[in-house]
Amino acid sequence: MEKRNAILQLLFSQRRLETSDMARMLDMSEEEVQKEIDQLEKDHVIMGYSAMIDWTKTPFESVKAMIEVSTTPQRDRGFGRIARRIYSYPEVKDCYLVSGDYDLMVIVVSKNLQSVAQFVSEKIAPIDGVLSTRTHFILQNYKVNGVTFSVDESDDRETVVL
């Protein structure tokens, strides 16, 4: 179990480590490391792999929004049914049950502001048990999943003297 935790920590923090590099770092054989990774995938501990992309450096236009959703939990089901209805839409990238002033935090990626607004008003708001929503649009990524995005520090605004 200790080896497994070490492998998970390396995968989580380093992302692009080769099996041979992990084996050297953990004083294990490549075969042992690969066997552990295969088992972690089979056990659904490792759920998948993804690339971190700075979409502002591509020709693709998209908008990312965080939607706070307040709900009424259902008897004997809690928040699960509403969460399932929401996360089943392809626009939804993440869906979390959270503590605080609202119940669910939903991360949505769509082509523009209007499509996000339409998604919220036509898909989320009408769900039975949804009491209210609040949408926040992501304007700039500084750090996501431990990856720091480059930020242009120049300021091209004109100075206004009063």
Answer whether 0.75 is exceeded by the pTM.
no
Express each pLDDT in 35-73 by its tens digit: 999 999 999 998 877 767 777 777 778 899 999 999 998
Distance set, CA 13 to CA 7, 17, 22, 42, 101 (Å): 10, 9, 12, 21, 31
Confidence of residue 136 (pLDDT cuts 50, 70, 90): very high
Domain at 55-140: CATH architecture = 2-Layer Sandwich (3.30)
The predicted pLDDT at position 12 comes to 64
Q: How large is the average pLDDT for residues 2-13?
A: 72
Q: How large is the average pLDDT for residues 104-109?
A: 96
**CA 99 and chain centroid, separation:** 17
Q: Domain segments of the chain: what residues?
A: 2-42, 55-140
